[in-house]
Amino acid sequence: MKTLLLISSAILIGIWLKPLTPHLFVSPPVKTITEAYTPTPTPTPKVDDLVDTYSKKYGKTPYKANRTKALLHFLLLREQNYGGSNNCGDSGKACGPLQFHAGTYQGYRKIMMDKGLVSDMGSRLDMEDAIETTAWAINDGRESAWGPVARGEIKL
């Protein structure tokens, strides 16, 4: 009797699983999407483009423009790894991609505004404002305001 019950159970299970087996191992067809979504990017200037633009604007000779580029790239790397860190240095006083103290940044921008070089205060936290202000400062003889330059970590 036990043998008959086991054989009957095996047959029933086999019959029951047989129609289900293909569904267990075959995936449903995948729908192919032929149209891709591409968001419209907001154009933002690249750091290299900003460095190039403001180095040429404030470095009045080819040598000064190239020197300004080199210093800007050095400071961008040294101060904030090209904006890759949001840390503020000097016990939280120097912030932004080029580590400006608030008073220093505002003082420089005020001079630039008085000379008609910029129209607004901008922000020391903004990459473009920081690069432009630093390019101006380098060409106005103020590069030693940055610690790495003052400490002689770069000499041009």
- Are residues 71 and 149 in contact, defined by beta-carbon separation less than 8 angstroms? yes
Q: Which residue has the higher pLDDT, 28 or 54?
A: 54
Q: Which residue has the higher pLDDT, 116 or 4?
A: 116
- Are residues 75 and 148 in contact, defined by beta-carbon separation less than 8 angstroms? yes
DSSP state of 143: G
Token pair in block for residue 48: 């290299």
Does position 79 have pLDDT exceeding 60, yes or no?
yes
Q: Which residues of 119-130 are buried (b: 16+ CB within 10 A; e: fewer)?
A: eeebbbbebbbb
Does position 103 have pLDDT exceeding 50, yes or no?
yes
- Are residues 140 and 146 in contact, defined by beta-carbon separation less than 8 angstroms? no
Q: What pLDDT is attached to residue 43?
A: 58
Most confident of 8-12, 80-84, 106-110: 106-110
> Which H or E element spans position 14?
helix 2-17
Q: Which pTM was predicted?
A: 0.72
Q: What pLDDT is attached to residue 41?
A: 58
Using the Cα atoms of residue 138, residue 50, residue 118 and residue 115 in order, give the sign of their dihedral.
Answer: positive
The confidence band for 36, taking pLDDT boundaries of 50, 70 and 90, is low
The confidence band for 4, taking pLDDT boundaries of 50, 70 and 90, is very low
From 104, 82, 81, 85, select the one nearest 94 (Cα to Cα). Answer: 104
Average pLDDT, the chain: 83
Q: Which residues, including other chains, have CB under 8 Å from residue 135's CB and lie 6 or more apart?
A: 51, 54, 55, 57, 58, 59, 68, 72
Q: What pLDDT is attached to residue 33?
A: 54
The confidence band for 15, taking pLDDT boundaries of 50, 70 and 90, is very low
